[in-house]
């Protein structure tokens, strides 16, 4: 658990990934090539914790769980396609979290060593394919298995009481405008993290996170 963040962030279950490229180039101390990616890592990457970052983390964890079952997923052998533009809504932020965990990279990514370990081109954006208001991503295994699935994130179904959401919005405006006192600032932060907690503790099946075969 990270000591830098609230317990709800540091205590979120990690995502385990095998990293064969780091193993090949001798980065590991021993023969265990498994890395642990946490919500705290995603927060460090994004610089903040919000429903978008948390949703991307949980969507990735769920997608990998379905694609690999009891196997440990292999970083760099998964493609991610966002069914929206990189500058559309939250697709850009979510794709960064997903890319960080899976190793899927855009055209700026690692080109590989000969025919192996290529990450370049594994993260893509497909304009206009979503078909509804859901934030959707397609995950596909690139290891010959070929399994693929569609993850749909429905932000409006994330559990949070209406009165709490209204109060949070009011306080955010006041804090951003510099008119909030210390107590209001603390209240705003607590309310913001309350929604994150609700996402992390949502009972299965999670209504706002849908997974289906692609």
Mean pLDDT over the full length of the chain? 94
Task: Please tell me what DSSP assigns to residue 117.
Answer: S
Share of the chain above pLDDT 70, in %: 97
Residue 202 confidence (pLDDT): 86
146, two tokens: 């070929």
Residue partners of 177: CB distance under 8 A and separation at least 6: none
Q: How confident is the model at residue 130 (pLDDT cuts 50, 70, 90)?
A: low
Domain assignments of the chain as residue spans, ordered by start: 7-157+203-213
Residue 3 confidence (pLDDT): 72
Rounded to an integer, the average pLDDT of 179-194 is 98
Whole-angstrom CA distances from 34 to 52, 113, 124, 168 are 26, 20, 26, 39
Strand 34-37 versus strand 15-18 pairing type: antiparallel
Q: Identify whether the C-beta of residue 61 lies closer than 8 Å to the C-beta of residue 13.
A: yes
- pLDDT tens-place string over residues 51-88: 999 999 999 999 999 999 999 999 999 999 999 999 99
Angle at 195 between CA 57 and CA 80, to 5 degrees: 20
Rounded to an integer, the average pLDDT of 161-175 is 97
- Closest by CA to 78, choosing from 144, 16, 139, 149, is 139
Q: Identify whether the C-beta of residue 201 lies closer than 8 Å to the C-beta of residue 188.
A: no
- pLDDT tens-place string over residues 11-22: 999 999 999 999
For 92, counting Cβ atoms within 10 Å of its Cβ (0-12 exposed, 13-18 middle, 19+ buried), the class is middle
């Amino acid at each position: 658990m990270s000591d830098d963040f609230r317990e709800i962030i540091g205590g979120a279950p990690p995502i385990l990934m095998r990293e064969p490229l780091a193993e090949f180039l001798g980065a590991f101390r021993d023969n265990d090539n498994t890395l642990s990616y946490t919500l705290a890592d995603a927060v460090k990457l994004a610089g903040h914790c919000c429903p978008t970052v948390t949703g991307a983390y949980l969507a990735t964890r769920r997608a990998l769980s379905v694609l690999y079952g009891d196997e440990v997923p292999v970083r760099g052998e998964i493609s991610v396609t966002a069914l929206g533009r990189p500058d559309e809504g939250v697709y850009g932020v979510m794709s960064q979290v997903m890319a960080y965990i899976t190793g899927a990279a855009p055209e700026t990514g690692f080109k590989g060593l000969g025919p192996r370990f290529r990450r370049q081109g594994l993260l893509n954006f497909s304009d206009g394919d979503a078909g509804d208001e859901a934030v959707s991503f397609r995950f596909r295994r690139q290891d010959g298995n070929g399994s693929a699935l569609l993850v749909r994130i429905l932000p409006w179904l994330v559990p949070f009481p209406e009165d709490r959401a209204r109060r949070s919005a009011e306080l955010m405006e006041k804090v951003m405008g510099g008119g909030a006192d210390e107590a209001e600032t603390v209240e705003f932060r607590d309310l913001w993290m309350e929604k994150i907690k609700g996402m992390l503790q949502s009972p299965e099946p999670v209504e706002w996170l849908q997974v289906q075969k692609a």
